[in-house]
Chain A
């Protein structure tokens, strides 16, 4: 289905008004239902959209909750991404900050302005060639290096022969796919793909759900468009921990809850693996009210945090409060971007709950 066909099938039932951004903003132009109706009119040539509406279309973290609750089962994640691409093609987007991030990434190959030459500096071990690549991603490479180190340590402890690409690892392109800027993604894909081919990579392990979704779902599509073969297995670290991890059981009584990252959960359907690992670790675990398919987004994805920080942090605040209401002292997640954003949100609420990545806990307790 193309976006016109998807829009035409919308029943306007309003179930998608559970959208976290709409719940904050409150106007129909921000609701998935409203955006879909305007898209249909726009594609039918009945209206012209202006910058206000374009901005409202981008007030969305592409968390996929609308797709989850849609009774007509519209593929809305694809819809938002395609719509954003259309707006970029027509010159109505990207929005200012998204454009800026694209410019930065064109120069630096990451959106954090990190020095590409120093991308692999977090690695405190000797890098040897291998057929399995640990793709750390931009956030773990430049912002949360402990996660990159913990992941590498876990892989070592599990006896997995792996390598890293260091300065030859480039942003996967996830932030740009979510914001309609496909041209730069193609460039980043080329850079990564060519290096992987040259290095003989057969398997990519990621600790970032955004990278995981992009490399496993979007890269094969791009490769197909370009006429390339894409025969690379893509795995998220949590799957490896679930399948291979044997742990010493944790001996603290602190309670913990788990936040489902949208790119791992609703985008990729991975809900039970992290919970299995949490159980294996013997953590006193409690679910949040909204979990798995119904989980509330952290608020950071889809370019929301960069362009609309006030909305993004309000969603983050709501999620941290929901976690605190469980009585948990730890909020575990499996995504560096969620961890980064929820930590900042928790900080604003007085650091009453500590946000941690599951890999970092597992690394400490994994049996050598």
Chain B
């Protein structure tokens, strides 16, 4: 049991590329921390630095009150679940789990007890004599988990452990991982690029971008009060609409002086021709496309003014400039080409500085 603290951690490669540019956060004992961000943001590198698989070139990593910068992975008392599971293909499931314990010189019967216990928890008893090649993806995933938990380490590290599973299994395993972590109460750091996975698993969510931390907090906090436009578009699906206040059709009744961008989540818009609520925002749109997914309907509308603020949050998969996504419950929707008016209440507006790096209101 331990907490993990990162203090101004940096990683620069010999070619000068800076992968991690000074990261600072702390995971309390027993907490489930999720690092999330787009690919290339440095989250996996950071996790591997905590594991000792990558050296660090600046700052300190502290596990359970001990600075481990120079400590070999074997001596950090951590266990890791890899994206491709990294099972030993030539060993049986039993030996895969026992290997780490044998290396540490544990007595044979103690190993037996621990492995059997882990196998029981993960329902692997029937598979102990199989080789990894004879297992399904989900079973391999369990073995990788088993190999981590038999060690009873101070910290679990997960490197996108569910990304190789199909959608259904991924959800099931996600729930299982969370239950298991609660039960063992072991400090965990979990890396994923899937914001839904991040939202559902995390006690603490760390959003990373370009080698830096964008925001730290609990998932709902991040959803409700994203600190930057990056977080605003990364957390929540479909992503928040961002509109530039320099566009003539976007008017905030009462705005801070340095406000540059206003964001509205698709689910916070509603269609209305009535009067604008006090301090709210109305956008005139021409309907371009409709997607009905059953319980709700997505309306893609184009504003007359097309410059938009999309350039600020250069995220792939973003709406084209001037397009606004409105998400309304039910299945009724306007016709393509119809003119509509989408309205958001004042408390649903997220106001950011012009560069998107700072939240101004509320």
Determine if chain A interacts with chain B: no
